[in-house]
Amino acid sequence: MAALHCIVKLGGSAVTHKDCFESLKVEALQRAAGIVHALHRRGQRCIIVHGAGSFGHFQAKEFNVSKGSMEYSVDADYLRRGLCLTRLSVTKLNHLVTEELVKHGIPAVGISPFGAWKAAGEEVVRADVAAVLEALEAGYVPVLHGDAVLDVKQHCCILSGDTIIEILSQELSPKHVVFLTDVDGIYDQPPDNPGGGSAWEECENQDHPPI
């Protein structure tokens, strides 16, 4: 397969107002779509993964979806309802993100982990990377997201966008993994890491986005 140029993570706090229920940062999402469009126009193959932000986290917390059913003796119907509401919310955001990318002329397709990815406690025991690869090879830009998934140990759990990126990176070896956050500047590690500094100077003289 042709090389994968990059995986772009749209952080939940970058594209949503985290404290405000299901609230999209419209302009930030448009800017992010512009960056992805610039990559796509240059023929660079990429995968988008977004977090949940204010879509999904409220419902997951209310119904304890991340803990599943082993640690808490909860009513199974209650937990299932929590999973359904969480998924309705994260897939709503996935639709909005994918829609914005398509509006920018990107052949983006939303791909949800539920049903195709599965966990066992801390471990991911099934990850359908082949479906992502197939979409890429057919010329699409896959758009995955943090999701609520089935878990063989505790019925269900939360699969974060970062875990998805870790697995996709191991399997597909992208040249770059770029995290778009709500912090200004370009960093080569999380900006709040001790010693984490801006890497902007290295990119300043380039005539296109540094990815």
Given strand 176-180, what is the order of strands in its sheet?
A: 108-110, 141-145, 46-50, 6-10, 176-180
| 57 belongs to an annotated ligand binding site | yes
* Paired sense of beta strands 155-159 and 147-151, if any: antiparallel
Residue whose CB is less far from ligand IP8, 146 or 174: 146
| 68 belongs to an annotated ligand binding site | no
Residue whose CB is less far from ligand IP8, 160 or 198: 160
Distance, in Å, from the CA atom of 14 to the CA atom of 10, rounded to the nearest integer, reads: 6
Residue whose CB is less far from ligand IP8, 52 or 127: 52
Cβ neighbours, 10 Å, residue 118:
19
Minimum CB distance to ligand IP8, residue 175 (Å): 22
| 51 belongs to an annotated ligand binding site | no
Q: Which residues bind ligand IP8 (CB under 6 A)?
A: 12, 51-52, 56-57, 60, 86, 90, 146-148, 158, 160-162
Residue 28 CA: distances (Å) to CA of 138, 154, 197? 28, 36, 23
| 4 belongs to an annotated ligand binding site | no
Residue whose CB is less far from ligand IP8, 61 or 175: 61
Q: Residues within the annotated binding site for substrate? A: 52, 57, 161
